[in-house]
Chain A
Amino acid sequence: MAETTTAATAAAPTLEVRNLQTHFFTRAGVVRAVDDVSFTIGRGKVLGLVGESGSGKTVTGFSIMKLVDPPGRIVGGSILFQGKDLATRSEEEMRNLRGNRIAMIFQDPMMTLNPVLRIDTQMIETVQAHEKVSEADARARARDALGMVGIPSPDERLKSYPHQFSGGMRQRVAIAIALLHRPDLIVADEPTTALDVTIQGQILAEVQKLCATTGTAMLWITHDLSVVAGLADDIAVMYAGRVVEFGDVGEVLDKPLHPYTHGLIGSVPSRNKRGEPLRQIPGMTPSLLNLPEGCSFRARCPRAAADCIVMPELHPWLPQRLARCHHPHLEEVAAA
Chain B
Amino acid sequence: MSQTQMQSQSQAEAPRVFTETETPMVELRQVSRRFAKKLDIAAKLARRLGADVREEIVHAVDHVDLRVRKGEVVGLVGESGCGKSTLGRIVAGILPQSEGQVLWNGQDVSTMQGEAAKIGKLRRQMIFQDPYASLNPRMRVADIVGEAPLVHGLTTRANFDTYVDEQMRRAGLDPAFKRRYPHQFSGGQRQRIGIARALAVAPEFIVCDEAVAALDVSIQAQILNLFMKLRRDLDLTYLFISHDLGVVEHLSDRVVIMYLGRVVEEAPTERVFSGANHPYTQSLLASVPRIGNRKRAFATVKGEIPSPLNPPPGCHFHPRCPHAFDRCRVEVPKLREIAPGQRSACHLNDAA
Q: Which residues of A contact B (CB under 8 A)?
A: 52-53, 166, 168-169, 196-202, 204-205, 208, 223-227, 229-233, 249-250, 253, 263-265, 267-281, 284-285
Report the nearest B residue to A230, measured CB to CB. B293
Residues of chain B within 8 A of A250, CB atoms compared: 294-295
Given contacts A52-B216, A269-B224, A277-B225, contact A249 B291 (CB under 8 A): no
Given contacts A279-B221, A284-B186, contact A208 B298 (CB under 8 A): yes
Name B290's contact: one of A229, A263, A272, A277 (CB within 8 Å): A229
Residues of chain B within 8 A of A253, CB atoms compared: 291
How many of chain B's residues touch chain A, expressed as a range? Answer: 35 or more
Q: Flag if B291 contacts A270 (CB, 8 Å).
A: yes
Q: Contact mask B231-270 → A, CB, 8 Å, 1/0?
A: 0000000000001111101110000000000000000010
Q: Which residues of B contact A (CB under 8 A)?
A: 4, 7-9, 11-13, 79-80, 186-188, 216-222, 224-225, 228-229, 243-247, 249-251, 269, 283-284, 286-301, 304-305
Give the complex CA separation of A232 and B295 in angstroms. 6
Q: Flag if B8 contacts A273 (CB, 8 Å).
A: yes
Give the complex CA separation of A264 and B221 in angstroms. 9
Q: Flag if B217 contacts A230 (CB, 8 Å).
A: no
Q: Flag if A52 contacts B269 (CB, 8 Å).
A: no
Q: Flag if B250 contacts A227 (CB, 8 Å).
A: no
Give the complex CA separation of A202 and B303 in angstroms. 9
User: Total contacts A to B, CB within 8 angstroms?
Assistant: 149
Q: Flag if B79 contacts A198 (CB, 8 Å).
A: yes
Residues of chain B within 8 A of A197, CB atoms compared: 79, 243, 245, 284, 287-289
Q: Chain A's nearest CB lies how many Å from the CB of B241?
A: 14
Give the complex CA separation of A279 and B294 in angstroms. 23
Report the nearest A residue to B212, measured CB to CB. A269
Given contacts A197-B79, A277-B228, A280-B225, contact A272 B294 (CB under 8 A): no
Given contacts A200-B289, A201-B287, A269-B246, contact A263 B218 (CB under 8 A): yes
Q: Flag if A233 contacts B287 (CB, 8 Å).
A: no
Q: Flag if B218 contacts A280 (CB, 8 Å).
A: yes
Q: Chain A's nearest CB lies how many Å from the CB of B341?
A: 17
Name B222's contact: one of A208, A224, A225, A280 (CB within 8 Å): A280
Q: Flag if A274 contacts B288 (CB, 8 Å).
A: no
Of A198, A202, A230, A249, which is in contact with the most chain B CB atoms at under 10 Å from its CB?
Answer: A198
Q: Flag if B216 contacts A223 (CB, 8 Å).
A: yes
Name B250's contact: one of A205, A275, A281 (CB within 8 Å): A275
